[in-house]
Amino acid sequence: MLKDFQLVGRDLFLAGLNNSHSGNLSVHHGDQIVITRKGSMLGCLEEKDLIETGLTRNDGNTILASTEIGVHRAIFKGTGALAIVHAHPVHAISLSLLEDEIIPVDSEGAYLLDKIPVLDVKCTIGSPEVEEKLPALLRDHKIAMVRGHGSFASGQTLEEAYHWTSCLENVCRIIYITRTLARNDKVSGR
């Protein structure tokens, strides 16, 4: 399990989808979850950075877990997900500040993600409001954005959830480049 966390954590960091100490990963098995430690560096995870705790109850390890543990628990309980990737992709966060949903303009993005809902809540980080509202979005979509905060992707494996996260950021980069080129064409009179 450590190897899967390390691979996805490193790739998230190297792809620029998280800064040095942001984002979190989790997997669900039985009545337990394994989630990254609060403040861990996803790009260099070690065994001590994986916290095993209850899906429905706190124990001695819960205090060490990511501040997003309640959101991860709610997603696991409210969807069929077995793995979650929470990231802070820059282009996707920027677009989430402008849109209520992100609609891919490229073929692959449209094929893989269809559309990405943007959740607008007052408190964005680990709040009861996110816990309450986000699982419903992830029942119908592979990934969702919390406005101005980041993405939550669910999957059967960490790799699958990472795929949706990577695809989301590519979709948002393509939207940004397309809009920039369109504005430049208008300015130049084309």
pLDDT at 60: 84
- Tokens standing for residue 111: 């094929």
Return per-residue pLDDT of the chain as tens, 190 residues.
899 999 999 999 999 999 989 999 999 999 999 999 999 999 999 999 999 999 988 888 888 889 999 999 999 999 999 999 999 999 999 999 999 999 999 999 999 999 999 999 999 998 999 999 999 999 999 999 999 999 999 999 999 999 999 999 999 999 999 999 988 766 666 6
Please, what are the domains in the chain?
2-188 (3.40.225.10)
Q: Give ∠ CA 58-161-105 in degrees, rounded to 5.
A: 135
- Tokens standing for residue 70: 């309640």
pLDDT at 58: 85
In this structure, what are the phi and psi dihedrals at residue 179, rounded to the nearest 5 degrees?
-65, -40
pTM listed for this prediction: 0.93
| pLDDT single digits (tens) 116-126 | 999 999 999 98
pLDDT at 51: 95
Buried b (16+ CB within 10 A) or exposed e, 42-80: bbebeeebbbebeeeeeeeeeebbbebbbbbbbbbebbe
Tell me the Cα Rg of the chain: 17
Instruction: Read off the amino acid at residue 67.
Output: T
pLDDT at 131: 95
